[in-house]
Amino acid sequence: MIYKFTPILKTLVWGTENWVLSGVKGSETVVADGPAAGKTLNDIYGGEFPLLIKFIDAKQDLSIQVHPDDALAAKRHNCKGKTEMWYIIGATPEAHLLAGLKESITPDDYVRLVAEDKIVSVLADHKVKPGDVFFLPAGRIHAICGGCYLAEIQETSDITYRIYDYNRPGLDGKHRQLHTEQAKDAIDYKVYPNYKVDYDPKVNAENVVVTDSHFTTSVYLLDKPITKDLSPLKAVEKNFLVVMCLKGDGKIGDTPIKAGEAVLLMGEDSVVFTPGQSGIKLLTSHL
C-alpha cells in the first residue's frame, strides 16, 4: 500500500517545520484519503513509527543544540535518542549551517564558552547549496541557520538539548530554556576531518548518501521512470519505504506526488518512480 498523510505545520520563532510523517505522541500525522483515511501513522505501522520526516524552512538561525544517543535518552527520558540527517533543497546566497567542532574542547571549556557567549567560535561553519547532505549522529553539536530550506530525516524523538539561543526571546516573549548541564554529557567532543557527506549524484540511478543503523537514505534525480526493487527490505520486520519529493512532480506507483510532499510504502514488492515533464528529485529512507 501507498499512503499519503495530512502534514502538521509548526510555526517557531525562527521559521517553520512541516512534519509530513510523524509518529511522535501528540503530533501524529493521519492518512489523508483512501480506505485508511483518518488512521494515524502509528496505526498503519502497528506501533511507534521509527522515523520523523520533516521539511524545514529556516528564516532565522535555529538554536545551537545537541541530541542524546539512544542509551542516554533511554536512561534520562525513557525514549530514543536522535540521530538525524539534512538534505539542502534550497539556500540563499549567504546560507550556512553549523555542524561539529572545528577545534578540540573539553566539557569544562564548553560550559565556559556558553557562559561567555562564545560557543559559536569553536563550531564548524559550512556554506551550503542545494544537494548538500549532512549526517548528524547523536552527540554532534549543530544548528540550521537562516536561509536554509531542507529535508530532515531523524529518529522518532523530540528530545533536544538547547545549548545556545542567541539571547533572543521566544514567541511568548520569554527566553527559551537552555540545557547546559544535560548537553555537557551528551556532546561528542571529537573533531572530525569532514562533516559533509561526499557523493557524486548520478541521474536515473539510486545515490545512497547515508547508511546507518537508524536509517538508510538515497537520492534520486530522475528524468525517466525507474523501478525500485523493495524485496530486500522484507528482511526487516515491519519494513517500509519513505519517499520525499524535493523538487518537481510525478508519481510513486499510481500516487501523485509533488515538491514538499511525502508518501509511505508498506508491503510492496517493487515500485515505479515516474517523473513529471520537468523531472523529479526524490529522497528515500528505510531501516
The verdict on whether 112 is a catalytic residue reads: no
For the chain, how many helices (H) and strands (E)? 4, 20
What is the enclosing helix (H) or strand (E) of 12?
strand 8-12
What is the enclosing helix (H) or strand (E) of 3?
strand 2-6
Q: Which three cell numbers stand for residue 129?
A: 547549496
Q: Where are the beta strands (DSSP E) in 73-199?
A: 84-91, 96-101, 123-127, 133-136, 142-144, 148-155, 161-164
What is the enclosing helix (H) or strand (E) of 169?
none
At 102, the amino acid letter reads K
- Between CA 228 and CA 206 the distance in angstroms is 9
- Between CA 283 and CA 190 the distance in angstroms is 29
Give me the catalytic one of 112, 162, 168, 176: 162
Asked if residue 133 lies in contact with residue 210, where contact means CB atoms within 8 angstroms, the answer is: yes
Instruction: State in Å, rounded, how far the first CA of the chain is from the last one.
Output: 18
What is the enclosing helix (H) or strand (E) of 118?
none
- Cell 548518501 found at: 209
Q: Which residues participate in catalysis according to the annotation?
A: 162
